[in-house]
Structure 1
Amino acid sequence: YDTIKDIKKINFALELETIMMHTDRYGVITYANEKFCEILKYKKEELIGQRFDMLNSHYHTQHFFDVLWETISSGNVWNDEIRNKAKDGSYIWLDTTIIPVLNDENLPNQYIAIYTDLSEKFKQSVNEHKIRTSSVLEGQERERRKIARELHDGLGQMLTALKFNIQGIKTPSSKKDQVHIEGIKQMIQETILEVRRISFDLMPSVLNDFGLAAALQHLSERFSIVGINKVSIEYVGLKDIGRFEKNIEINTYRIIQEALNNAIKYAEATNIILDLQFDDSCIHFSVKDNGKGFTPQDKRKSDGSGRGMTNIRERVSLLNGNLIFNSIIAEGTTITVEIPAIILST
C-alpha cells in the first residue's frame, strides 16, 4: 500500500512540475499534461490522437528525426534540444528526453517524452546571434557599396576611355592587324560588361530606385542571360509590391540572389520559378527549381552550396522569418520563405 501511495505522490509531483507527453509506438499522442498543453498552446483534445510531428517547426533535418526514431525504436533513451511549433505559430525550444516503455518482448510499445523549457535561454542566445549577424551583414553591405562605386566610377570609366581611344586608332592596312585590333575592342567591351555585372551584383541600383519586385524581375532576367547553363527563370510574382524598410528589401533580395545562385551553380537547374507575394503584413516568396536536389548531408558540403544555405538561414532568422526547404533527389528543390513586413509606400 505504501509503495502505491509513494508512486502516486511521485506521479502527482511529475504532473505539476514536468512538461510531459506520451505516444504509442507509432508516434500518436495518447497523453499530454497541463504544462505541455500550456506551453504549446493546445487543448488536450486537439493533441490526443494526432502524430507528435504536428509540432514540427521544419527547423531540423529529416536525418535528425531518423536518428531519433532509430534510437528509441531500439529501446534506447534519446535526448537533444528540439525547436517545436506552437499552435499560434511561435517557436518553443525544449530540451527533450524520450524514454521507451518496453513490453514483455523487450520491444517499445509506447514512449514517454519529458521536456525542459529552453525558450528564454534560446531567446537570449538568438538575440545575441542576431546582433552579431546584423553587424557583420551591415559591414558587408557597406563594403559592397564601396567596391561597386569604385568599379563603376574608377575602373569602369577607365575602360570606357580606353575603348574610345582604341576606336580612334586609324584602321591598319594589313588584315592581320585589323583582326588583332577588333579582338582587342571585343575584349574591352566584354570587360566593361563584366565590370558592370559585378558592380550591379554588389549593389543593384534598381532595388534602391524601384523596390523589391522590380529588382527581382530584373535579377531573373539577368540570371537567365548570364547563366553558365541554359537556364530559364520565370518570375510569376507581383509586378509592384510596394516599398519596405531598407533592411528588409536588401536582405530579401540577397536571400533570393543566393537561392538562384545555388540552383544554377550547384543544383544545375535549367528551369526556375520565382514567386513573390504580400498579404497580411507578410512577404511570401518561393524559389522552385528542377535541379538535382540535395540530402541533409549535402547541406554540410564544402563546395559552397552548404555555406549558401547557411547564409539564407541567417538572413531569414535576422528578419524573424520562417524558412522551409523541400528537396527531392533528381526532381528539384523548393525554398519557401515568409517574412513579417509592413508596406511603407506603394
Structure 2
Amino acid sequence: MKKTQALSKLVKVCVAALAGVTLMAVAAQYFFVEDWRWLVGILIGTGLAVFFTVVRPAYVKFRAIYSDLIESEESAKRMTQELNKLYNELGKSYQDLEAVNLVPEDPTTLLKLSTSGEIEFISDRFKQIMSISEDGFFTNIYDWFKEENLNEDFITSLRNILSRGQSWNGELNLTDLDGDLIWLDMSMQPVLHGKSGETKILAIGRDVTEEKEAKQRSREINREAIEKRVREQQYRSVLILEGQEEERKRISQEIHDGIGQMLTGLKLNLEGITPSDSPHMKKRIRDTKDLMKSVIKEVRRVSFNLTPSSLVDFGITPAMKKISQEVSALTNTEVVFENRTNFINRLDKNVETNLYRIVQEAVNNGIKYAAADKIVISFEHNPSHLIVIVEDNGKGFEFKKLEKTGHFGASGHGIFNMKERAAFINGSLDIQTKLGVGTKIIIKLPLS
C-alpha cells in the first residue's frame, strides 16, 4: 500500500506542477499582449479538458490496477502462511497418532532358558504367538535369532549382558512359523532356580504386533490426508504466482503504453513553450523539466521491475545483465553479472520468470536489509544443471534465528517466497550467511 500511495503522490505532484508552470509560462508570455485574457482563458479551458478527459482517467485506472496487484500480493502472503501451518501440522499430528484405542495385553512368561541360551520351557502363549503347533522349534535362542537375521553385534551384546547376570528388555521384530511378521516386547531376566541355586533366564513379554500395525495404519491415513491438503495448497499458491505474473505484465503494459506515453507528450509540450525573459520563470520551467524527466525515469523503472522486456524477448541471461545495469544506475549499490560458462540457452517461460523473481528478491534484500555496496550475480552450468549465485558483501543475518522465528517478518517473507519459487521449478535454494560477512544464495536448477 505504501508503494501505491507514493506513486499516486508522485503522479499528482507531476500533473499539478506541469499544469501550474505551463499556465504561468504562457500567462507571462502573453501578459503584455492586448488579448492576453482571452488567450489565457482558452489555455485554461483546454488544460482542464485534457486533465479531466485524459490524465485523470488514466491516473484513476492505473491506481485501481496497481491496488489490485497489492491486494493479490497480500492474498499470496496469506496463502503462504496457511501453507506453513500445514507443514507444522504434519509434524504435530504424529503426537495424536500414538493414541490408538487398543487395550494392551499383560506381559506373561514366554520362555525359560539356560545361561547358554538353551530353551528349556515354552509357554502356551508363546506357542500361540509364534504359531507353533508341534515340536520342532529351535533349541537355542541365539540360533533362533541368527536364523531371523538379527544383527550379529546385537546377539553378541545380548549374550554378554545375560552372562554377567544383567537383565535386558526391548522390542524384537521376528517371523512366526507361518511366515507372518511379529513384534514382541520382551524382557530377559536372570533368576535363581529352585533349591539348587542354578541361574536360569526367564523371557517375559507380550505381543505388540496389533498396536504397531494400528499405529502404522493411522500414520498412513493421517499422512495421506495432510499431504493432500498440502498439495492442494501448493497448487493454489502456484495459481496465485502465475496470476501475479499476468497481472504484472498487464500493469507494465498499461504504464508503458498509457501513462508513459502521456508523460512523454507532456514533456515535449513543455519543452516547446518559449519562456519569458524572467530568470524566475526560466528556473521554474527548468526545474519542471527535470521533474518530468525523473517521473518518466521512475515510470520506466517500475514498468521494468513488473515485467522486464528483455526477459520476455531474449531470455534469462540478457535479463540478468539488464537488471544489474538498471539497479547499478538507480542505486548506490554496484551490481555485477558474471556469465562464467557462457550460458545462452532459453528456458521454459515459467522457469525463467520464477528464476528472475528469485534473483530480483535476493538483490533487493541485499540492498534493503544487508546495506551491501556490491552484489555479484553469477551463472555456471554443466549438461545437467544451471547454478545461479547471488552474493553480497552486506552485514548478513542469523539464518537459524530466522528459521526459529518464522518467515513472515521483514526479509523472512521474501526468503520463504524464494524457496517456494525454487521448489515450483524443481530447483533447490541454499542460503549461506553470517553476521558481518555477507550473504550467498545458491540456486541449483535442473536443465533436463
Residue 236 (str. 1) matches residue 338 (str. 2): yes
Candidates 167, 181, 187, aligned match of 2:291: 187
1:303-318 maps to which residues of 2 (within 5 A)?
A: 304-318=410-424
Q: Rg bigger for which structure? A: 2
C-alpha separation between the residues in 1 aligned to 2:247 and 2:271? 34
Residue 264 (str. 1) matches residue 370 (str. 2): no
Between Structure 1 and Structure 2, the one with more strand by share is 1
1:1-346 maps to which residues of 2 (within 5 A)?
A: 2=110, 10-12=171-173, 124-227=228-331, 230-237=332-339, 238-295=341-398, 296-298=400-402, 300=406, 304-342=410-448
Report the secondary structure of 1:339's partner residue.
strand
Q: Which blocks of at least 5 consecutive residues in structure 1 are unaligned?
A: 19-115
Q: Which blocks of at least 5 consecutive residues in structure 2 are unaligned?
A: 1-108, 114-125, 127-167, 176-180, 184-218
Partner of 2:88: none
TM-score by length of 2: 0.50
Select between 239-248 and 290-299 the one with higher mean Cα deviation.
290-299
Measured on the aligned residues, the alpha-carbon RMSD in Å equals 2.8
1:162-210: per-residue Cα shift (whole Å, max 9, x none)? 0011011012211010000000000001100100110011000001111
Name the count of aligned residue pairs: 242
C-alpha separation between the residues in 1 aligned to 2:425 and 2:370? 26
1:104-161: per-residue Cα shift (whole Å, max 9, x none)? xxxxxxxxxxxx8898677645533331121001110111011101101110011001
1:245 Cα deviation from its structure 2 partner: 0.6
The answer to whether the 8 Å contact 2:377/2:388 transfers is: yes
C-alpha separation between the residues in 1 aligned to 2:286 and 2:428? 53
The answer to whether the 8 Å contact 2:375/2:393 transfers is: yes
1:279 Cα deviation from its structure 2 partner: 1.9
Question: Residue 253 of structure 1 aligns to which amino acid in structure 2?
Answer: Y
User: Does the C-alpha gap of structure 1 residues 2 and 9 become closer, same or farther in structure 2, counting only changes over 3 Å?
Assistant: farther
User: Does the C-alpha gap of structure 1 residues 135 and 234 become closer, same or farther in structure 2, counting only changes over 3 Å?
Assistant: same
The answer to whether the 8 Å contact 1:241/1:277 transfers is: no
Between Structure 1 and Structure 2, the one with more helix by share is 2
User: Does the C-alpha gap of structure 1 residues 121 and 282 become closer, same or farther in structure 2, counting only changes over 3 Å?
Assistant: farther
TM-score by length of 1: 0.64
The answer to whether the 8 Å contact 1:133/1:318 transfers is: no
Question: Residue 235 of structure 2 aligns to which amino acid in structure 1?
Answer: I
C-alpha separation between the residues in 1 aligned to 2:305 and 2:250? 13
* Stretches (4+) displaced over 3 A: 1-9, 116-127, 298-303
Question: Residue 294 of structure 1 aligns to which amino acid in structure 2?
Answer: F
Report the secondary structure of 2:261's partner residue.
helix
C-alpha separation between the residues in 2 aligned to 1:3 and 1:297? 54
The answer to whether the 8 Å contact 2:311/2:318 transfers is: yes
Percent of paired sites with the same residue: 36
Tell me: higher relative CO, structure 1 or 2? Use CA pairs within 8 A at least 6 residues apart: 2
User: Does the C-alpha gap of structure 1 residues 303 and 182 become closer, same or farther in structure 2, counting only changes over 3 Å?
Assistant: farther
User: Does the C-alpha gap of structure 1 residues 4 and 233 become closer, same or farther in structure 2, counting only changes over 3 Å?
Assistant: farther
